[in-house]
Every structure is written in structure tokens, then in C-alpha cells.
Amino acid sequence: MLTNAILSGLTMGGTYALVAMGLTLQYGVSRIMNLAYGEFVIAACFAALVLFASAGISPLVALLVVAPAGFLLSWAIYRLLLMPLVRRAPSRGALEVDSILATFGMLFIVQGIMLALFGGDYSSYSYYNTPVDLFGTTIAANRLIVLAVALAVALAAWSFLMHTRSGTAMRAVAVDPVAAGLVAIDVRRVAAAAFALGGAIAATGGVLISMFLTFNANIGVVFTMKALIIVIMGGVGNVVGALVAGLILGLAESFVATFVDPGLTIAVTYAIFLAVLIMRPQGLFGARAR
């Protein structure tokens, strides 16, 4: 029962973390509080479903198309829709507020497009729902894939941020865009890249969760909320923080569901969130002062 709880918690936590990592880049570096984030996750779910149902393309292969498409689309959205906000915002705080309003509108546009294309019906398909025996317990293969991809994305993003020049520039922008500009970093370009990278991660998450979750055009906000909690918990802009926070939430939910009561999973999520906010308002891995 213990291994069951741990494995199930890790896989669910991996899903949460994967989805949240994209938002932490968008929010932390580009300072765009993207309320339409979950809608992009669901859009990727539909893209994977269409490719799978019409052409029999495996979601894992679909990733090669959908993730770059997510990157390009997010890049275009930043350049065309968000750039005017960035230009006229007098401060980062003002940009956050403006971006909340703008992406709130975008949420309805993306949702409307999905409703027009796919209707409000529930969609679901099974892929790799094969049992895998691990440490004396059984788990679905597709869940393990999500956990593996979440760890891989976190590792890749972390190495990129810590060990490459562009990654360092991204961190510099996250910490202080004005000073970053003074040392010849093209802040807007870096911010656009971070936003686009976040979009690519959202698309990756969407494709993978479509393998086992039932979704429809209206449930995007569920993912935005969960991702937001994890982003704040892990420290805004911190990819490893998002991974750890996601795994903690997944494990906590699974332990409570197994050993206490499945009815308390949401309560424990918010209890942990509250505790982190009280004790470390900057998040588990956030810097104390900016």
C-alpha cells in the first residue's frame, strides 16, 4: 500500500509539475500572468487526440509536432498581442495586472475556438494504458511516461538556465530586467523566448495528459489553478522549485487519499499551499528579496 501511494503520488505529481513548469517560465521571466495557460494545455490535448484518431499518430510522436507548434504559437502571441502591453507598462507590477486582463480575454477566445471546432463534449482515448509491474505494485505505463518526461523537462530546463549563455540571460531578466538591459541583454527577445518555451512545455504537458485524462474544451481553468499554486509554492520562475512543489502536492494527495480519506485531497493541497505562503512567502526555492 505504501509503494502504491508513493508511485501514484510521484506520477500524479510529475503531471502537475510538468504543466506548472511552463507557467513558471512565463510568469517568472516574461512577467506575463497567463490566465489562458490551461486553455493551451487543453488545445494540445485536442491536437494529440486529432492526430491519434485521424492518422493513428502516437501521442509520443505527436509531441515532435505539437511542442514546436506550441513554441511558435506562444512566440507569435507574445510578439503580436502582448508586446504592446510590455511597451507601455511603466513597471513590472503594471505589466502583471495588464497581462492578467489581456490573457483573461484570451482564455475565452481560445476556449471559444475549441468549442467551435470540437463542441463541448467529453473526449477521451487510451494510449499505453498497459499495466507495468514495478516494486511489487502495478501502474499504468502512460503515467510513468509522464513522470519521466517531467523529470527530463526539468533537467533540460535547469541545465539550460544554469549552464548556457541564453539561460543565464533568462535568469538575469527574471531577477532584474533593467539591469539586464544595461549589460546588453535584449530583454524583450529573452522574455519572448521564455514565454514561447513556456508554451512549448504547456503543449508537451497537454499531449501527455491526453493519454489518460478525460477532457473537454471547458476544463482548462483547472490546470491554470493547479499550476498557479505550484508556481507560487515553488518560487516564481524556478523550474526545479515547480518540479519539487508538484511532486510534493502529488505525494500529499496520494497519501491522504490512501491513508486518510480521498475527500480531503483538495483540503490538503490548500493547507500545504497556505503553510508555504505563511512560512516562505517567496516560495520554497524563491529568493527572499528581488
Partner 1 sequence: MRQMLRKHLGSMICAASLAAFSLSAAYAQDTVRIGYAVSKTGANAGGATTTTIPNYELWVKEINDAGGLKVGDRQMKIEVVEYDDRSSSEEAVRSVERLATQDKVDFILTPWGTANNLAVGPIFDKYGYPQIAGTSVTDMAPKLAARWPNSYWLLGTGGSYAEGLVDLLVKLREEGRIGDSVAMASIADGFGIELAKAGRTALQGHDFKLVYDKIYPLGTQDLAPIVNEVKALNPDVFIAFSYPPDTLGLTDQARVLNFNPKLFYTGVATAFPLYKDKFGAAAEGVVSLGGIDPNDEKVRAYIARHKEVVGKEPDRWASFMTYAGLQALQQAIEKAGTLDKEKVNEVLRTGTFDTVLGQISFDNKSRQVPNIFTVGQWQDGEFVGLEPADHPGAGKLVFPKPAWPAQ
Q: Interface with partner 1 by CB under 8 A: which residues?
A: 1, 4-5, 8-9, 11-12, 15, 111, 115, 119-126, 129-131, 137-140, 212-219, 222, 250, 253-254, 257-258, 261-263, 265-266
CA 1 to chain centre: 29
Nearer to partner 1 by Cβ, of 31 and 226: the residue is 226
Least Å distance between CB 214 and partner 1?
A: 4
End-to-end, the C-alpha distance of the chain in Å comes to: 44
Which residues, in sequence order, are bridge partners of residue 134? 137
Cα 141–Cα 42–Cα 4 angle in degrees, nearest 5: 30
The Cα 283–Cα 275 span in angstroms is 10
Least Å distance between CB 109 and partner 1?
A: 12
Least Å distance between CB 116 and partner 1?
A: 10
Extended strands (E) in the chain: 131-134, 137-140
Query: Is the CA virtual torsion 164, 156, 233, 224 positive or negative?
Result: positive
Q: Are 207 and 69 in contact (CB under 8 A)?
A: no
Nearer to partner 1 by Cβ, of 119 and 281: the residue is 119
Least Å distance between CB 205 and partner 1?
A: 13
Nearer to partner 1 by Cβ, of 90 and 263: the residue is 263
Per DSSP, 264 falls in state G
Nearer to partner 1 by Cβ, of 58 and 164: the residue is 58
Nearer to partner 1 by Cβ, of 122 and 135: the residue is 122
Least Å distance between CB 210 and partner 1?
A: 12
